[in-house]
Chains A and B, each alone.
Chain A
């Protein structure tokens, strides 16, 4: 009996509440944010990154690369002053390439593809991605990082900047490495120019230009 009594009131409440929600949505509606992420418009660096949005963004990137989401494998995490990154690797479904995805907290995803059987750039012993904020001139950059993976035969990375200065970078157990340009380097107008891969015995096994 009590349930029967409450049914019309519940229906009225439901209708009133939904109409109210509609009114609020219409009144406050300007432009909806992308369903992939919720953005704080007033804070250019802030990203509210829910698990569902993260998943949708990752889905989009893997679709564009032609990589099956389920085939993605986390390789390692690297620490950087900006919060570090998780390194994921996965093959394309057509088998033509292996791709690397960098996932950084509070920042956008980035992705790219390397060789047929591994993520390394064909003919090279490493794969890396330089990511920056600000610029294009180094003096205007607020952040410049290089994150990558190296083959097993590489035990050390050296970054050579445009002034000729060398910065050694350690390589992790999974081949991961990360370099963050010191603010002093950027302030004087310099930036990384070359990446050199060294073997355990210190022999140079690879050298790639960053600025050509």
Chain B
């Protein structure tokens, strides 16, 4: 049997008609059979709910994404040595966390550098090990950067984390 689409005018006004005592299916011949109608209305409701659930699931997948953890340095860093990631983009994922792990207790600097003025943002310098810094905003193009700002050499591991959106237009 042919049921109308959810939300269609036909569904609302034609083939399912409200009557006193509940909804019934109006047959071509004008016959009404209440005992089957309840089951059909039930199927119709299930179908509509299924459409809704599928729509919601689809919208959830549209806004999903994945975290990407990148080690962009792992080497002996002499005083003043540095390393960096590539610049990010909206679809490559914006760098959000930057960190440095050092083999010795010594000064290290981590920051984010923008691609217009090459200015530093959210810079953190410390003897702590490791050091982690989060970007206070990700809404601009930038790269993660780490530097041995001490006077000794150490092995430095620098990592950055970004969020890569799925289905980026």
Contacts and interface: CB of A to CB of B under 8 A. Distances in A.
A binds B: yes
Interface string B52-90: 110110110011110000000000000100000000001
Interface centre among A8, A114, A130, by most chain B C-beta atoms within 10 angstroms, is A8
A112 B132 contact: yes
B132 A110 contact: yes
B27 to A, nearest CB: 17
Given A29-B167, A64-B97, A131-B122, A18 B52 contact: yes
Contacts of A64: 97, 99, 130, 132
A32 B139 CA distance: 11
Interface in B129-169: 129-140, 149-151, 161, 163, 165, 167-169
A210 interface: yes
Contacts of A25: 59, 62-63
B19 to A, nearest CB: 9
Interface stretch (A71-79, A121-129, A155-163, A175-183): A121-129
B122 A108 contact: yes
Contact of B169 (A7, A15, A30): A30
B30 interface: no
Contact of A12 (B6, B56, B132): B6
Given A61-B134, A130-B126, A40 B150 contact: no
Contact of B58 (A1, A17, A22): A22
A150 interface: no
Contacts of A57: 134
Contact of B128 (A1, A12, A106, A114): A114
A192 B125 CA distance: 12
A127 B168 CA distance: 42
Contacts of A22: 55-56, 58-59, 62
B132 A39 contact: no
Given A4-B23, A29-B62, A40 B41 contact: no
Contacts of B90: 30-31
